[in-house]
Amino acid sequence: MCLNLKNCKFGFIGGGNMAQALAKGFLKADLIKIENIKCSTPSKAKSFQNIIGEQVETFIDNTEVYYNSDIIVLAIKPQYLKQAMDSIELSATKKFKDPFIISIIAGITLENLSKMLPNNNQGQLKIARVMTNTPSLFGKGISVYSTNSNCNIKTLCKEKNIIDCDNILTTLFSSVGICEPVPESLMNSYGGLIGSGPAYVFIMIEALADGGVKMGIPRATALKFAAHLLLGSAELMLQSGKHPAELKDAVCSPGGTTISAVHVLEKFGIRNALISAVEASTTRGRDISKEI
């Protein structure tokens, strides 16, 4: 494995939306070189090249990427992981780079990954599990990660420098948003919040815009203003450091329009719906771990 990320060969196994978002984000942050990217994907090859660039080598077979990458990002659906790993040819003639494996697959534990990865050298591969989200494409993502015990073993790379997995992860994922280490026991919970979270927010934007349209606001304007409403409100909370309840109370005048609207939100259970959504996503992530 190389320490200088610009000299690293990056392999993406899976070329869907999340892989595209990360590759685009890493390139935008000038951390990696486009000519060092390979991607294996059965159905998204042209899409990946259109988004990232024609210089990217794409393959249908995973073997080429797995044996010729310093850092591998596993970005496939959990139900396809076993099939993808089984498809990789085990060959004594291929020189294995002993790569750093970064999995962004929902629900798959570090232990399961260790068992399924080909050529795992008696379980010596350095493996990280990352939960991230699609706003990474615009540098506004949220990423959390956990690593296996091998990542704590300091080894030398070919440039004779110490490989620090935490530093690699922080450098990569901080370039596309914010990034923090977390216990693996909470990874599915973070998935329920941040991994699935953009879907909850998009539903809220769409619903708010629908409300505006019902009250006579043009659709395009309603969508734009609803999106900026969530963006600006979130920034206000982060910059002020105030609790959201305090900021909410500041908008609710006695007997006014906002407190009347808040009453309706409470009546229809907006809090319960959002809490239950995070809970359902977390539970599904745990179930996936058991199914693989």
pTM of the model: 0.87
Residue 175 · residue 29 · CB < 8 Å = yes
| Predicted pLDDT at 237 | 97
End-to-end CA distance of the chain: 29
3-state SS, residue 57: strand
Average pLDDT by consecutive 10-residue portion of the chain (292 residues)? 76 92 90 93 78 86 89 92 85 66 94 87 86 89 94 62 81 94 96 95 98 98 98 97 97 97 97 97 89 73
Please name the residue that has the structure tokens 């009347």. 260
Residue 11 backbone dihedrals phi, psi, to 5 degrees: -120, 130
Q: What is the pLDDT at residue 122?
A: 66
Give domain limits for the chain: 5-194, 196-291
CB count within 10 Å of CB 166 equals: 13
What pLDDT shows up at residue 94?
Answer: 59
Token pair of 45, please? 């090859």
Q: Please determine, looking at this structure, whether the domain spanning 196-291 carries the CATH number 1.10.3730.10.
A: yes
The domain defined by 5-194 folds into Rossmann fold (3.40.50)
Locate the DSSP E strands across the chain: 10-13, 37-40, 57-59, 71-74, 100-103, 126-131, 141-147, 155-156, 162-163, 177-181
Please give the pLDDT value at position 60. 86
**What pLDDT does 92 receive?**
47
What pLDDT is stored for residue 51 in this prediction? 83
Nearest by Cα to 72 from 144, 8, 24, 12: 12
- pLDDT number for residue 158: 53
